[in-house]
Every structure is written in structure tokens, then in C-alpha cells.
Amino acid sequence: MVLSSGILAHIIMERHRIGIALSPERHKGRWKRILHRYSFENEELESLYQRYIYKLRLSSLVAFLVLFIILTATLSVLNFVYLNRVTVANIYHITQCGIFSLLLVYIYSRYMNESHLLVLSCVIYFLCLCFCIIALPFNFGDRQQISFTPAEGVWQITLVIFLIYALLPLKIYITIATGVLLPIIHLLVSILLANETLPALLWRQVRSNTLCSLIEVN
């Protein structure tokens, strides 16, 4: 039977409409393969694997929190003892120490489960980024500190990048992006705002910071 031109046009339009409706699903599947290329195709098998490594990831998260609690508490005490005044960095270190302590208590509580691990990791990741930003050679409102050196904040960024890569259960592309963006931000801030170094020494320090950043990324 020969189809009329109207029916044929209707079929073509329907196929075109269905193709448009399915194209986002194809793109979604493509992005899912790119972002989750190391995941199992079988969802049940992937769920079993995630349960298996949950304890390992949780122990890494606990080690991360304990290390940062000790670090921020030590920095707070040393800053208060040697500076003898309240600064934005001091307040932030105390705040981060308190928040991480609460998170550590929550992990050992009966409310903690597997679905909360990613949320906790994101909160810790955000606070660690703030820890690096506070350490930049920039005045955050402290009137008594008016000079900065390019070396300020280097060890904080190096430590955070290493710990995020080694202990925090996040995707590898997040770690790589962090390892690239944080040193670039520090480099720009050092060039524009560091004012306690002679120009020749400034560029020497900037080159040293760049070398450290390359080592961090690798």
C-alpha cells in the first residue's frame, strides 16, 4: 500500500520529535560514561562495591579530620600566644577546629550512614579551600598587618592538595582542578599584593612557588 504524502510527513515529524526527545538521554549517558568511567556498568555491583569501600573511606575521612583538628588547634594557640591579638585567621582556625570536631563526633554517632559520606566530604573540602584562602598574602581586615611575602600560604596549599588527594574520597578530576586552581590563585595574589619583598627577590620567590606548584600537581 502506498502511503499518502500527509501520512508520510506525519511519520517523519514523529520520528524527528522522538529523536529530539531522546537526544538529551544520549548526551546524559555520554556524560555519565565520561564522569563515571571507572564505575561498574551493573548498578547492583557498583552498590556492593561502594558498601565494601565505605569503611575504608570513612577511616580516611576520620584521619583527615583528626589531622586538621590538631593542626588548626595548634595554629590558633600559637597565633594567640605570639601575636597577642585577635585576627581573622585565628577566628577561622578556631571555627574550623570546632566544626571538624563536631563532624568527627557525628561520624561516630548512630546517625552516620553511607549516604552522608559525600555530603561530609564536600563540607570538609569547602572548609579546606577556605583554610587556603585565609592563608593567602592578603589583608582580611587586620590593620596591624600591612606587609606580606609571597611565601605566605604556600605550605597550607601544598598540605591541603596532598591531603585531598590522599585521604578525601572525592573524584580525581576535583583533586586535579584543586591542584591547578589553588596555586594559580596564590601566584596571582602574590604578584599583585605581596609588598614586603624587593622586585628581584619577588620574582625569585614567584619562580620557587611555581616550581612547588608543578611538583604538587604531579
Decide if pLDDT at 55 tops 90.
no
pLDDT-based confidence at residue 196 (cuts at 50, 70, 90): low
Q: Which residue has the higher pLDDT, 7 or 78?
A: 78
pLDDT-based confidence at residue 160 (cuts at 50, 70, 90): very high
What's the pLDDT score for residue 139?
A: 74
Range scoring the smallest mean pLDDT among 16-30, 82-96, 154-168 = 16-30
Q: Which residue has the higher pLDDT, 152 or 193?
A: 152
Decide if pLDDT at 121 tops 80.
yes
DSSP states along the chain: -PPPHHHHHHHHHHHHHHHHHHHHHHHHHHHHHHHTTTS-SSHHHHHHHHHHHHHHHHHHHHHHHHHHHHHHHHHHHHHHHHH-S--HHHHHHHHHHHHHHHHHHHHTSTT--GGGHHHHHHHHHHHHHHHHHHTSSS-SS-TT-----TTTTHHHHHHHHHHHHHTS---HHHHHHHHHHHHHHHHHHHHHH--SS-HHHHHHHHHHHHHHHHHHH-
What's the pLDDT score for residue 68?
A: 95
pLDDT-based confidence at residue 207 (cuts at 50, 70, 90): low
Decide if pLDDT at 146 tops 80.
no
What's the pLDDT score for residue 100?
A: 96
